[in-house]
Structure 1
Amino acid sequence: MKDKILPYGDRLRQLLVKSNITSSNLNLFLRDKGVFLGGNEKDNSVPLLIKTLITPNEFVELYETQKKKEDNVKINSAVLKCSKDFSLPNIIRGGFDLNELVENSSDYKQNFTIKGSPVFYFEDEVGVLDYEIERVNLLDDWTNNLTTHKGTVYVSKREDGAIELKVEQNSTSKETKFINDLINKEIKKAFVKEDIISSKSDYIRIRFNDFSNPDRIQFLYSFTTKMCVYLDFVSVSDIDIYLDEEEKTPEDLKKFLDELESLKLNGKKLQNHPLVTDSKYHKKVIFASLSLKYKFNIDGVKGECVIKIYFPEYISKKDETSEVQYVINFTINKDCKGIASENELRKKVISYIDSHKLRSYNLFKKKETVIESV
């Protein structure tokens, strides 16, 4: 739809008032056009924009701002222990029919289709399966009743005393997460068939209940250290906090915390907040997410980066088996735009984040299980 119509008036208003296009987005957009407003509210910017004509390129910029908010690439990873050596290309290069997997996954027709016939290819000994789905939602407005979403599964073999399979999966919607799960099951079946793992083996994942409350805080806080040559930590900006009803509330926080179930902190330097720095509170408070700001310089491309590390199912439904997940968003400096895409920048830092994540997991988790660090 966006390729056929250049909206104005009320049609443009439907896009601009969406919550995933913020007042700040609109004011920056207007500023680039040489328009400066006295107030930051949409009440000022939206009426001005719907009364003016915008160019096709400007509409694409606004539309992609919305899509960027909707399609944050959510990243998680898992490790599958293997009992003997293997050739990864021999096992997965032939792949499987992704369309057939989806078709056989349920008795009813899905609300999406997979574009083309995606197969595994290899980049530097890493198997990559990229795919794109098209989803129809007739209840949505004209701006996104037909949407596309991308998913990627990476499979790599590594050898550092043990032979393991590492699967990273990026998902941008519930549907791509569903497809990634189907792919992971097929990968496991292939390794069982080759007698590389037993049928009882499963992916080792980092879960919420792998930590005590204090150690979960330490795990999340460890991302403030220098973990990557490309990133320099600036501050903690957001924290989702819940309270453990089984733990006694410290006396100095009773009046503040006793009537609360959860708390969301937003600020500029929350790494200095007492709930973070003072260990006497750590048994009572549960950290379920942390957002961290960094300055980045990736091969000369500079800007700011926000990494959100969180346990999504614990936040949504208190599921203590929730797997840790992270989202990386880049804001590229104006003079560096066009040099590299967000996806290219993301690929540069993911391996560093995953390596740090596994090291910190082994340091702070309950001691029953250890995942070998990369």
Structure 2
Amino acid sequence: MSNRKFIPAGEHLKALISQSKVSEPDINGVLRSRGVFCHSIDKSDTAPLLIKTIISPREFEQLKSKITSRESSPKTIFRDLEWSSQDTLIDALHQSIDAEKIISDQFVNYELDDFSDFYSDGSPDSVCLDFGIKRTDLLDEWDNQEKYFKGQLSLKKVNGEAVSVNITMTHTSPETKQVANSILKAAEIHLRDNGHISNTARIAEIRFNHFTNENRVEFLRHIARQQTDYEFYYKEIVDFQFKPDPDAEADKRIEWLQKNIEELSVKGDLEKTVFFDKTLHKSMKAFKLIANYTISFSTYIGTCKVSFEFPGYAKKGNVEAELVVDFKAFKLAGASSSEVKEVKRKIMKNIETAKSNGYLKLKS
């Protein structure tokens, strides 16, 4: 039987469902579809039930699709850099990156598979670089061992009080994020060595600890709501996640949270609830906000759900966690894959503009 048709069992199945990308609800969903209900959804309780049985081809495909969709969904990070040169971005960056030096560590299971170099994206001061990686997972005996992921860097020069460069980094896996960071670091060194940025200029990231509690909520709300382009309409905030700040002055309305709750996620039309009363925000360490939008593009009508999150703080309490923007859902009936890609690109550019304006006003 070929690897492609192999259905994992025993240790192979354990390796599959032990991956962090297979969530507790995913395993519980498979069990519930069989009519098996467990008192706990913890992996330590539900995973052994699944490992002891044989999963069906449909269940295997269901779990695989969860892994693929979570890993390959494009996630976007925004950064900024002060510019000190009269040269255009394409003149400054074209052929500046040595692709052979991007992955220097020989003890990794991925390699650079595609590399476009920087190219002009409609203007000499708007450039992109596309790349791809091939990752080899030798333990995936039942499936294709080679997996391919894409990433992109885009830089655009903007004028404000001083000329700066907005940087958008899109990645589809942890490895593409690492490669994008390596390319960006090489580009920064090249720009500094050639006088395009000053010796003191550094690429600025949007981090959790760049805001007060109040301003962080306002920043997340600002970039979620400030969508005015014709193809992208804000509808409502539907998910808001925060940890009560035990060191903040207690407010009687949420004092019980500070004493009893480590983390809280609330869902619904949230701007109509007490959680968006500004007087409470000093007591909230907000780290995630999700909003719904409607889309009107060409002849297509659709909807999408966008997440604005500091995932490093959510998972590890890292106060230097960087902002990540991600599509949690996207529907545009009848549109081709290239049209969907174009709409997503327009939406991220819209969000990037809102990010720049909001960050300058609200950072600590």
Q: TM-score under structure 1 normalisation?
A: 0.78
Contact 2:92/2:196 (<8 A) preserved: no
Task: Give the match for residue 286 of structure 1.
Answer: 285
Judged with a 3 Å threshold, the aligned counterparts in structure 2 of structure 1 residues 51 and 159 are, in CA distance, closer, same or farther, namely closer
Letter of the 2:254 counterpart: L
Map 1:250-329 → 2, pairs under 5 A: 250-265=251-266, 267-276=267-276, 278-329=277-328
Match of 2:348 in 1: 350
Give how far 1:149 is off. Answer: 1.4
CA gap of 1:9–1:243, structure 2 versus 1, over 3 A, is closer
Equivalents in 2 of 1:231, 1:333: separation in Å?
Answer: 12
1:85 positional shift: 1.0
Aligned identity (percent) is 20
Whole-angstrom distance in 2 between the partners of 1:243 and 1:262: 7
Q: What amino acid sits opposite 1:184 in the alignment?
A: L
* Residue from 28, 35, 43 that aligns with 2:34: 43
Report the aligned-residue RMSD.
3.6
CA apart distance, 1:330: 4.4
Residue 238 of structure 1 aligns to a residue whose secondary structure is strand
Change (3 A) 1:333 1:74: closer
Name the residue aligned to 1:127: 127
Residues 190 and 19 (structure 1), Cα distance of their counterparts in 2 relative to 1, 3 Å cut:
closer
Q: CA 1:316 to 1:66, structure 2 compared with 1: closer, same or farther past 3 Å?
A: closer
CA, structure 1 residues 354+247, in 2 after alignment: closer, same or farther (shift >3 Å)?
A: same
In the alignment, which residue of structure 1 is the partner of 2:84?
Answer: 83
Equivalent pairs counted in the alignment come to 338
Deviates more, 1:114-123 or 1:69-78: 114-123
Residue 298 to residue 340, structure 1, CA distance change in 2 (3 Å):
farther
| Amino acid paired to 2:327 | I
Determine helix, strand or coil for the equivalent of 1:275. Answer: helix
Q: For residues 1-374 of structure 1, what are the structure 2 equivalents within 5 Å? A: 5=4, 19=22, 41-43=32-34, 50=56, 66-103=67-104, 106=105, 108-125=106-123, 126-140=126-140, 142-143=142-143, 145-160=145-160, 162-222=162-222, 223-265=224-266, 267-276=267-276, 278-334=277-333, 336-338=334-336, 340-366=338-364
| Deviation of 1:217 (Å) | 0.8
Q: Following the alignment from structure 2 to structure 1, what is the Cα–Cα distance between the partners of residues 271 and 331? A: 24
Residue in structure 1 matched with residue 48 of structure 2 by the alignment: none
Q: Shift of residue 127 of structure 1?
A: 1.9
**SS of residue paired to 1:242:** strand
- Could you tell me how far apart the structure 2 residues matched to 1:71 and 1:339 are? 15
Q: CA deviation at 1:293?
A: 1.0
**Following superposition, which runs of at least 4 residues in structure 1 exceed 4 angstroms of deviation?**
6-11, 16-23, 49-52, 61-66
- Deviation digits for residues 114-137 of structure 1, max 9, x if unmatched? 114542222212322111111122
**Hey, what's the Cα distance between the residues in 2 that align with 1:158 and 1:251?**
45
Letter matched to residue 42 of structure 1: S
Look up the equivalent residue of 1:43 and give its one-letter code. Answer: R
Any conservation in 2 of the 1:227–1:353 contact (CA below 8 Å)? no
Unaligned runs of 5+ in 1: 28-39, 53-58, 367-374
Whole-Å Cα distance in 1 between the matches of residues 202 and 7 of structure 2? 53
**Secondary structure class of the residue paired with 1:120:** strand
Against the structure 1 CA distance between its residues 290 and 117, is the aligned structure 2 distance closer, same or farther, given a 3 Å change threshold?
Answer: closer
Per-residue deviation at 1:140?
A: 4.2
Mark the CA change 1:247 to 1:22 in structure 2 (over 3 Å): closer, same or farther: closer
Q: Distance in 2 between matches of 1:209 and 1:221?
A: 17
* SS of 2:282 mapped into structure 1: coil
Give the AA of the match of 1:346.
K
Amino acid at match of 2:118: F
| Displacement after TM superposition at 1:260 (Å) | 1.6
Deviations 1:267-311 (A, max 9, x none): 2312222112x2232111111010111111122222211110011
Structure 2: runs of 5+ lacking an equivalent: 36-52
Q: How big is each residue's C-alpha offset from its partner over 1:49-74, in whole Å with a ceiling of 9 and x where there is no partner?
A: 9488xxxxxx7x99666522322211
2:118 and 2:196 map into 1 onto residues whose CA distance is 20
Structure 1 residues 71 and 220 mapped into 2: Cα distance closer, same or farther (>3 Å)? same
